[in-house]
Amino acid sequence: MPQLSLGIDVGGTFTAFAILDPETETFSVGKSLTTAKNPSTGVVPGSLQVFGRLGFSAKEVAQVIQGTTMVANFLLERSGAKVGLITTKGLRDSLEMGTEQRYDMYDLSARPAEPLVPRYLRHGISERVSWEGEVLRPLDLEEVGSKNCQVVVATCDDTRYSGITGHTIRVPLDGKPSLI
């Protein structure tokens, strides 16, 4: 029985499949439409369809490698969820700070891309960590639950905390923030 390798790329329009048969050194490809509401639901039927067309069985698959271009599409098209950012005080504008890099270094009129999170949906909180990782000012969950943070949370589909400490915080709309 062949030990096939299956590669899957879930894209915005199509899901692509590549099958490698190491015994015969043959490479086969196929495509199916991506299911818009839940892209994962198209993977199994699409795989089975490609297997059937090529004369293979799912039992022959020894390895599956899956990737997606959907995240890149969401970023480029800015069609993903509306997100907010709660970060270390003083780092609110780090998404907009330039590093003197340009898409075209000779185009003096080139404008930088708009940040993925607009400024009004970013809020700083007072936690602080030294360059050695020592906590100088611990994260205060009451500050995360403050009115300013709750405005960011209530305005967005999703909110994330990004700080130097590496904390992950859940900020529910109807409750108190908590560390995860």
**Helix residue ranges per DSSP H, the chain:** 43-54, 70-77, 141-144, 147-155
Banded pLDDT at 164 (limits 50, 70, 90): very low
CA-based Rg of the chain, rounded to a whole angstrom? 23
Q: What is the pLDDT of residue 80?
A: 73
Q: What is the pLDDT of residue 73?
A: 76
Q: Is a pLDDT exceeding 70 seen at residue 76?
A: yes
Q: Is a pLDDT exceeding 80 seen at residue 14?
A: yes
- Domain ranges in the chain? 4-74, 83-179
Type of residue numbered 123: H
CATH 3.20.20.140 fits 4-74, yes or no: no
For the entire predicted model, the pTM comes to 0.54
- What's the count of helices (H) and strands (E) in the chain, helices before strands? 4, 11
- Percentage of the residues of the chain whose pLDDT score is greater than 70: 79
For the chain, first and last CA: distance in Å? 45
Type of residue numbered 48: L
Banded pLDDT at 63 (limits 50, 70, 90): very high
Segment 121-149, tens digit of pLDDT: 888 888 777 777 777 888 777 777 776 67
Q: Is a pLDDT exceeding 80 seen at residue 74?
A: no
Q: Is a pLDDT exceeding 50 seen at residue 152?
A: yes
Segment 79-99, tens digit of pLDDT: 777 777 778 888 888 877 766
